[in-house]
């Protein structure tokens, strides 16, 4: 009896009509926290999601866990049901490979329809025990407009082979090419509206791991750029947990990839000799990083100036989204369109002639002082 009780507690409610051993609404899978994972069994696992869906789910994400990639799901069938008895296949995946730990596989539902419940029949490779971090459902097709994104080619070179940082990177990232390509698309999604937009053409990224000081930097100019990532920084970032290392690694990658995909301001000197130019470039890179969820937003503090660059500027640009959901894209368009770019000019471009950089910055400061 004790065993049955603990199983009930662990797996939450049991749907009527389902066999009693079908885990339903598994907490670790629906907590939007890739750090916690569900450990299943060898062979086919059935997992039910019964959270009273009220619209057809058009896409979903399955996240790999932090464990050895041999436990990753390699194939699954997604089924929908209204009564928990009759199930209809809505999507199917085979030969799935996750390029990294805590990595999403975004799937567009092939046959969407309104169902109250969903069930995943999901299996790891070679009859290994299944481990999955999260499953998320969306009533939007999150790939819409990005199906035709032109991925860059990647030259990944580990120049720090044998270092602790290099080993940690390999534990985190199994396929660097796919991992960098994934983040390239994510950056473009934040900077642009669709893959058909007029876009900075990044064709090739040479990405190196290097046993050197510093964190990461982008060099070269589109269409061919290079990015290095310090294995010493990897080592320092791994002290707390692999999840923290992942958070930092993705955050840094977002920032550097923005430098590949962003337009550069015109008419205001250059990166090295003009603070307006520099704060625009570094502010937007950290703004996109903040928007991607790879900054601890609790570290935002009042103070500073919009031209301080990096996260002081980046948090401000990201906050502009409270005024307009497309604020980051519009900010970026101001960089493309204005013949002489400036902070005040950009705010007027985005919000109309009444807007000023002082006014918006002060409003943002009030927002921060109010404890947000």
Binding site for Zn ion (CB under 5 A): 282, 285
Q: Residue 246: left (phi > 0), alpha (psi -120 to 50), or beta?
A: alpha
Nearer to Zn ion, 99 or 288 (CB): 288
Smallest distance, Zn ion to C-beta of residue 217, A? 7
Smallest distance, Zn ion to C-beta of residue 137, A? 35
Q: How far apart are CA 16 and CA 85, in angstroms?
A: 8
Smallest distance, Zn ion to C-beta of residue 285, A? 5
Using the Cα atoms of residue 129, residue 134, residue 140 and residue 144 in order, give the sign of their dihedral. negative
Nearer to Zn ion, 66 or 282 (CB): 282
Smallest distance, Zn ion to C-beta of residue 222, A? 15
Nearer to Zn ion, 254 or 364 (CB): 254
Q: Which residue has the tokens 């007029």?
A: 198
Instruction: Name the token pair of 350.
Output: 């985005």
Nearer to Zn ion, 165 or 283 (CB): 283
Nearer to Zn ion, 163 or 313 (CB): 313
| Helix boundaries (H) for the chain | 2-11, 27-30, 164-172, 176-191, 231-237, 242-261, 275-291, 310-319, 327-337, 343-351, 357-369
Q: How far apart are CA 189 and CA 147, in angstroms?
A: 11
Secondary structure tally for the chain: helices H, strands E: 11, 13
Nearer to Zn ion, 72 or 282 (CB): 282
Q: How far apart are CA 37 and CA 55, in angstroms?
A: 27
Closest by alpha carbon to 49, among 75, 6, 87?
87
Q: How far apart are CA 230 and CA 273, in angstroms?
A: 26
DSSP symbols for 212-277 = SSSSEEEEEETTEEEEEEEHHHHHHHTSS-HHHHHHHHHHHHHHHHHHHH----SSS--TTT-HHH
Q: How far apart are CA 213 and CA 231, in angstroms?
A: 9
Nearer to Zn ion, 205 or 285 (CB): 285
- Cβ-closest position to Zn ion: 285
Smallest distance, Zn ion to C-beta of residue 255, A? 6
Smallest distance, Zn ion to C-beta of residue 309, A? 9
Smallest distance, Zn ion to C-beta of residue 126, A? 42
Nearer to Zn ion, 59 or 313 (CB): 313
Give per-residue burial for 321-337: e unless 16+ CB within 10 Å, then b: bebeeebbbbbbbbbbe
Smallest distance, Zn ion to C-beta of residue 99, A? 24
């Amino acid at each position: 009896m004790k065993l049955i009780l603990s199983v009930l507690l662990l797996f939450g409610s049991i749907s009527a009509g389902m066999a009693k051993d079908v885990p339903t609404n598994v907490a670790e899978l629906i907590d939007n926290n890739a750090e916690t994972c569900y450990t299943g069994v060898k062979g086919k696992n059935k997992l039910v999601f019964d959270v009273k869906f009220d619209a057809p789910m058009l896409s979903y994400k399955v996240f790999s866990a932090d464990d050895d990639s041999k436990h990753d799901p390699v194939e699954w069938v997604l089924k929908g049901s209204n009564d928990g008895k009759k199930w209809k296949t809505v999507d199917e995946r085979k030969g799935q490979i996750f390029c990294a730990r805590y990595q999403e596989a975004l799937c567009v539902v092939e046959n969407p329809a309104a169902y109250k419940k969903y069930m995943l029949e999901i299996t790891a490779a070679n009859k290994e025990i299944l481990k999955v971090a999260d499953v998320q459902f969306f009533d939007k097709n999150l790939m819409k407009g990005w199906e035709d994104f032109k991925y860059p080619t990647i030259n990944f070179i580990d120049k720090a082979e044998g270092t602790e940082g290099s080993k940690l990177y390999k534990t985190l990232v199994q396929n660097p090419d796919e991992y960098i390509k994934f983040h390239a698309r994510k950056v473009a999604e934040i900077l642009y509206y669709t893959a058909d937009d007029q876009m900075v053409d990044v064709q090739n990224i040479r990405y190196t791991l290097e046993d050197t000081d510093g964190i990461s930097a982008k060099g070269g100019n589109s269409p061919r750029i290079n990015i290095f990532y310090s294995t010493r920084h990897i080592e320092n970032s791994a002290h707390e947990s692999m999840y923290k290392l992942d958070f930092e690694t993705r955050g840094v990658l977002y920032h550097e990839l923005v430098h590949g995909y962003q337009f550069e301001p015109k008419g205001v000197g250059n990166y090295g000799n003009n603070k307006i130019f520099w704060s625009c470039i570094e502010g937007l890179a950290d703004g996109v990083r903040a928007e991607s969820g790879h900054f601890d937003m609790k570290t935002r503090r009042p103070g500073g100036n919009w031209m301080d660059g990096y996260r002081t500027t980046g948090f401000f640009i990201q906050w502009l989204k409270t005024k307009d959901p497309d604020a980051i894209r519009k900010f970026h368009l101001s960089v493309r369109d204005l013949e002489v770019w400036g902070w005040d000019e950009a705010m007027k471009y985005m919000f109309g002639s009444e807007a000023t950089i002082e006014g918006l910055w002060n409003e943002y400061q009030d927002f921060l002082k109010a404890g947000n």
